[in-house]
């Protein structure tokens, strides 16, 4: 799979099989997150890998629309120092990891955690750190009736404007 194919083929998946993600595959996904650029190359964000079911369940309670995330093989939290919350860098790391996961045959989905206090408590995050989002990882259920793998995107000519809005 080329990088382009990984990017255009990736979909947000929320239904996974029970298959565990091998350490070498997870390591490559995390390495992709590590290699994302950061503002001024300060690399202050940290990744928290969650496979413990009780911690996953606690994280599921930290978002308004995240009740399903406990069925993931792994959840990766992207944490940033609260005083200099680097949301752009968080997004870059998450996208790198999700594309790398897709290239490995692993599904993913970004999830916002609306209740920061619950997310912090779930993973023991210090008070001066924030974890605004997590990504779920797992092998996709290919024949699920609501699978986004079957959905289409807005055509490019409807999406793109050149030089001006109209």
Residue ranges covered by each domain of the chain: 3-159
Per-residue confidence band for 126, with pLDDT thresholds at 50, 70 and 90: very high
**Average pLDDT value for residue range 69-76:** 96
pLDDT of residue 121 exceeding 80: yes
> How much is the pLDDT for 148?
60
Residue 10's alpha-carbon distances to 45, 85, 95, 116, in angstroms, are 24, 27, 10, 28
Q: What does the alpha-carbon distance between residue 6 and residue 97 come to, in Å, rounded to a whole number? A: 11
> How much is the pLDDT for 1?
86
Model pTM? 0.90
Query: Mean pLDDT, the chain, as a whole number?
Result: 92
- pLDDT single digits (tens) 130-160: 998 999 999 998 776 666 656 678 899 999 9
Q: What fold is seen in the domain 3-159?
A: NADH Oxidase (3.40.109)
Provide CB contacts within 8 A for 37, sequence distance 6+.
Answer: 89, 92
């Amino acid at each position: 799979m080329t990088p382009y194919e990984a990017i255009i083929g990736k979909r947000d998946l929320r239904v996974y099989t029970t298959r565990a993600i091998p350490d070498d595959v997870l390591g490559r996904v995390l390495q992709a997150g590590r290699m994302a650029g950061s503002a001024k190359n300060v690399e202050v964000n940290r990744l928290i890998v969650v496979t413990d079911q009780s911690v996953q369940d606690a994280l599921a309670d930290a978002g308004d629309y995240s009740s399903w995330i406990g069925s993931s093989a792994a959840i990766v939290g992207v944490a940033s120092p609260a005083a200099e919350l680097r949301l752009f860098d968080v997004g870059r790391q998450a996208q790198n990891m999700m594309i790398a996961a897709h290239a490995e045959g692993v599904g993913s989905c970004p999830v916002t955690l609306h209740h920061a206090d619950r997310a912090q408590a779930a993973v023991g995050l210090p008070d001066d750190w924030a974890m605004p989002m997590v990504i779920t990882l797992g092998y996709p259920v290919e024949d699920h009736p609501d699978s986004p793998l079957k959905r289409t995107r807005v055509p490019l000519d409807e999406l793109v404007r050149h030089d001006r809005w109209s």
